[in-house]
Amino acid sequence: MAVSKPSLYLLAFLSSLYVIIINPAYAQDQRYVDSLQAVFERTDDGSARTRILLEQAGHYFGVGEFDSCLNFYNRGLTLARKLKLNDDISEALIGLGNAWQRKGNYDKARDLHFENIKFCKENDIPDGIASSYNNIGNLSNEMGDYAMAIEYYTKSSNAYEVLGDELSAAITIANMGMIQNRLGNYHEAISYFKQANKIFTGKGHQGGINFVLNQLGVSYKNTGSLQEAMSVYRQALSNYEATGHKFEMSGLYQNIGNIYWEKQEYDSARLSYFRSLQLIESIGDSTGLGRVHNAIGQSYAIQGDHRQAKEHFLQAREIAQLVNNPLVLMNAEEQLKSAFVALGEYEQALLSFDRYISIKDSLQGVEKLRIAEEVEAKYQNEKKQKEIALLSAQNDLSSLQIAKRENERNYLMALSVVAFALGLLAYNRYKTKQRSNKKLQELNKLQSGFFANISHEFRTPLALILALLDKKMQGSDADQKDFEIMHRNARRLLQLINQLLDLSKLEAGNVRLAVRPMPVADFLKKITASFTSLAESRSIQYLVDIPQSEEKGYLDPDKIEKIVYNLLSNAFKFTSTGGTVRFECSINAKKLIISVSDDGIGISAEKLDRIFDRFYQVDSADSREFEGSGIGLALTKELAELHRGSITVASQPEQGCSFLVAIPLQGYDRMAISDDDGTPLEEDRWVTVPTAQQPSSYEDRVTDDKNSVILLAEDNTDLLKFLSESLEDHYTIIQASDGQRGYELAMEHIPDLIISDLMMPKLDGLGMCEKIKHHEKTSHIPVIMLTARADHESKLRGLETGADDYLAKPFDVKELKVKVRNTLIQRDRMREYVKGQLFFPAPKLNANDKFIKKAMEVIHVNISNTDFNVEAFNKEMGYSRMQLHRKIKAITGQSATEFIRLVRLKKAALLLQKDYDQVSQIAYETGFSSPSYFTKCFKEVYGVTPKEYAEKKVSVAG
């Protein structure tokens, strides 16, 4: 006999749910599904029928039967929409999105989650929004878009924080740990997982515990703790086997196979991979299928069975292309390249390698492109505003100039006759004096620039040598690399000094030519061969064409060696990675012709005629692109002419440069011929072939996560490395090899302190400091300037641009550390002062602190809006979440959330002084979601409840 009352069916349904909660294993039993279906068929209650459909869909999702899962979610969604059950509609949309993700249809999954977000915003379902944010993070993570994954995990975390949902927040924490695993930050990942696991264990959430165990295994494996990884994998596998979760089991078998792989037990690894494959095929998980085929292929490849390996890699590629998964596709193409090479299929190998590089570059460039577009949009907006302001100023100036010219015209006409006579008289004297003064000024300018630059060239290696010697004298062990740095920089100083001495001797006429008969080709081959390792380390194509010849000629080996060294060193200096340097020569009985060319940056026509002038530098500004003293080419020309030869140059900008040297091999006076017997030169000559020093950047290295972040901007690689190693034990270090990159990293990461060299490529230290101090986002950051220019004028210029302190090279590392510590302490004191001055609505702050004023105004406008959170605050202020957090943290010592809450509480305190009976009203007026939460926050700050505070104020006032 059928039961007619719908409420009885609902009661029966809730009883079924109670069984699920008490005994999770029962939920996987077919009898449970049958019982749900029986209740569904007997009830007429639409709400109960909807819940049963969604519960059945969730069951099939858990056991990996995704087609059945999609069927029940679609039926539940249709019924929920018909009955306008908003919470059930949101749950169905989320479930459908997750099911399509498991089936590998990422576009459909993403569309469903965004549809749910829109629906939840329209119908005030905040937990649904938070859930879809988290799931979009999962999608992005699986697609390899980690920047978007972190963005949506952060949105989800903020939403759950507002809701007070600790368990869901723990899920987001675990997901952030998974991102850290993907990025290779395994120790940070372990910290996230342990934090999440503590919450899951306290709540008894077995699904969360299992997820954490799986991810912990990944972290342990990648930190070398294979035994711990295998232990947590097997524990998680046992839990999933008890509940029949095939999807998770398949992933765990693959992870266990990876452990066997690390232990070089390849047969066991492959067996685990095939178990994973069997489970994946039963649930239709396309993405997992691609991954496991890649893993099986690698297990065959390492044992030499490349044909079997190729078949599995091809299957992985086909699946990845079908589901549009770039990570799986990239891995498949990379492995196929190796398999094709092993099988001799080189054309296919090249195609796979090209596709692998293309996918890899695409994945790495997406976030950079997005950031570049944002920066470009802001730049164009600022540019238009500046153009409007400039046009207005020009119009005003034009009007003033017209009026001024009218007044001056009559006056000038009266003086023109007298001025013409006097001018004609003085013209001849002026022109003569002007010519001599111009020559003198040019020489003075060149010499001043030369001595400033050579001072920088001397002080930087001296700073490194002295600092490392101090380290040794203080008892710290110096390793081989320290001595190599000292030796390299000492040789650099010797080379600079020898060049100066040679030039001085040439000028004084004290250098004598000493030629001797020698095999020209063999001698040139020895000199040019010393640059081979430099070319290889910088991936420069180095082409040497010296004809085979036994012919001897008269040469001064010391002079020729210096000429060749300077020309080749100059060519490598101005040639980028991947470029070409050529050395060619022709030898006959009368003359040696040497050609040195490159395809580097080239030289403009107006500068080409002056490159052999003493002290002249093509890039002589503080922000010069390349190191140099300005004497190398001048010395080369003097030596060539001393050898009765000549040197010419041809160049165009961005098309490289070519030098041609002609040296006679005979016809020298007897006085110029040396008595030397032709013994080869000693190995330890005056020249030192430059080493390949790759510039560092933020992408190169960031140290461990410590509280204070320091940005180092220095173009000398050795000094940059030394500074980083000296400070990284106590601070997080970001590196930049030029001023422009330093400014970009400062804008991106908002460091706590910047240490910058004065003379750097692209943008010098003064220019970088000025831009940082004049931008709202970075104006608070203290800057310490390192410089070889320790004169009063340079210090004054630096302080005028906003530098907080100066340190001259060579410097004492202890002094630098003390300055860093004192600067940060002073910043903390200022932060406490500012924090104590936060009053509302008229904060007693420094009048120049526009940022704090703007922040207070934004919060004031939205103070009664309970939905006004950090995300809305970021948008109103025009900052990214990280930038705003670090800016506020640096000024006030508080996070953005704490800052908003403090401003609300300050406002509430003022209102309580006026009307202490309306605590609940004041709570809502200042944006708190409930009076109880307001009371809790108020007491944490003021130590008393709002009512106690109000009564105290009233009594004092009375």
If you write DSSP's letter for every residue of 440-490 in order, what string do you get?
HHHHHHHHHHHHHHHHHHHHHHHHHHHHHHHHHHTTPPP-HHHHHHHHHHH
Q: Is the predicted pLDDT of residue 241 greater than 60, yes or no?
A: yes
* pLDDT above 90 coverage of the chain, percent: 11
User: Regarding predicted confidence, which is higher, 326 or 648?
Assistant: 648
Where residue 676 falls among pLDDT bands split at 50, 70, 90? low
Tell me what pLDDT residue 438 has.
Answer: 64
Tell me what pLDDT residue 685 has.
Answer: 44
- Calculate mean pLDDT across residues 220-230: 85
- Worst-scoring range by mean pLDDT, 378-387, 745-754, 773-782, 933-942? 378-387
Q: Is the predicted pLDDT of residue 67 greater than 90, yes or no?
A: no
- What SS3 class is residue 614? coil
3-state SS of 254-272 is HHHHHHHHHCCCHHHHHHH
Tell me what pLDDT residue 464 has.
Answer: 64
In words, the CATH class of domain 837-957 is mainly alpha
- Calculate mean pLDDT across residues 688-717: 60
Q: How is domain 501-672 classified at the CATH fold level?
A: Heat Shock Protein 90 (3.30.565)
Give the chain's mean pLDDT.
76
- Worst-scoring range by mean pLDDT, 154-158, 792-796, 907-911? 792-796
For residue 583, give the H/E element and its range. strand 580-587
Strand order in the sheet with 591-598: 541-545, 580-587, 591-598, 657-664, 646-651
Q: Is the predicted pLDDT of residue 833 greater than 80, yes or no?
A: no
Sequence-ordered list of residues with C-beta below 8 angstroms from that of 542, at least 6 positions apart, any chain: 531, 532, 535, 536, 580, 581, 583
Q: Is the predicted pLDDT of residue 248 greater than 60, yes or no?
A: yes
Tell me what pLDDT residue 712 has.
Answer: 94
- Calculate mean pLDDT across residues 373-377: 42
d(CA 130, CA 413): 80
Tell me what pLDDT residue 375 has.
Answer: 37
Q: Under a CB-based contact definition with an 8 Å cutoff, are residues 936 and 946 in contact?
A: no
- Residue spans of the domains in the chain: they are 1-99, 349-478, 501-672, 709-830, 837-957
Tell me what pLDDT residue 109 has.
Answer: 92
Tell me what pLDDT residue 90 has.
Answer: 94
Burial of 828 (0-12, 13-18, 19+ CB in 10 A): middle
Model pTM?
A: 0.38
In words, the CATH class of domain 1-99 is mainly alpha
Strand segments, DSSP code E, in 641-738 are: 646-651, 657-664, 709-713, 732-736
Where residue 70 falls among pLDDT bands split at 50, 70, 90? very high
Q: Is the predicted pLDDT of residue 666 greater than 60, yes or no?
A: yes
Sequence-ordered list of residues with C-beta below 8 angstroms from that of 111, at least 6 positions apart, any chain: none
Inter-CA distances, 686 with 383, 457, 559, 632, 634, Å = 52, 17, 11, 14, 17
Q: Under a CB-based contact definition with an 8 Å cutoff, are residues 13 and 43 in contact?
A: yes
Task: Give the tens place of pLDDT for each residue, 395-408.
Answer: 555 555 565 566 55
What backbone phi and psi angles, to 5 degrees, belong to 657? -145, 150
238-252, 593-607, 610-624, 628-642 — which one is most confidently predicted on average? 593-607
User: Regarding predicted confidence, which is higher, 447 or 867?
Assistant: 867
Task: Give the tens place of pLDDT for each residue, 176-205.
Answer: 788 787 777 888 888 888 888 888 888 888
Tell me what pLDDT residue 849 has.
Answer: 61
Q: Is the predicted pLDDT of residue 687 greater than 80, yes or no?
A: no
User: Regarding predicted confidence, which is higher, 173 or 797?
Assistant: 173
- Calculate mean pLDDT across residues 270-296: 82
Task: Give the tens place of pLDDT for each residue, 457-507.
Answer: 666 666 666 666 666 666 665 666 666 666 666 666 766 666 666 666 666
- Worst-scoring range by mean pLDDT, 255-259, 747-751, 791-795, 821-825? 791-795
Tell me what pLDDT residue 468 has.
Answer: 65
Inter-CA distances, 800 with 249, 509, 804, Å = 65, 46, 10
Distance of CA 18 to the CA centre of its chain: 51
d(CA 584, CA 592): 11
Sequence-ordered list of residues with C-beta below 8 angstroms from that of 743, at least 6 positions apart, any chain: 763, 768, 771, 772
- Calculate mean pLDDT across residues 577-591: 87
Q: Would you say the C-alpha torsion 467, 469, 475, 480 has a positive or negative sign?
A: positive
- Worst-scoring range by mean pLDDT, 584-593, 641-650, 731-740, 806-815? 806-815
Q: Is the predicted pLDDT of residue 656 greater than 60, yes or no?
A: yes
Q: Is the predicted pLDDT of residue 124 greater than 50, yes or no?
A: yes
Tell me what pLDDT residue 472 has.
Answer: 64
What backbone phi and psi angles, to 5 degrees, belong to 312? -70, -40
User: Regarding predicted confidence, which is higher, 496 or 267?
Assistant: 267
Task: Give the tens place of pLDDT for each residue, 517-537.
Answer: 888 888 999 888 888 888 888
Identical topology for domains 1-99 and 501-672: no
How many Cβ atoms from other residues are within 10 Å of residue 651's Cβ? 21
- Worst-scoring range by mean pLDDT, 15-29, 565-579, 755-769, 901-915? 15-29
* pLDDT above 70 coverage of the chain, percent: 71
Tell me what pLDDT residue 545 has.
Answer: 93
Task: Give the tens place of pLDDT for each residue, 913-931.
Answer: 775 557 888 888 888 888 8
Tell me what pLDDT residue 91 has.
Answer: 93
Tell me what pLDDT residue 909 has.
Answer: 83
What architecture is the 709-830 domain classified under in CATH?
A: 3-Layer(aba) Sandwich (3.40)
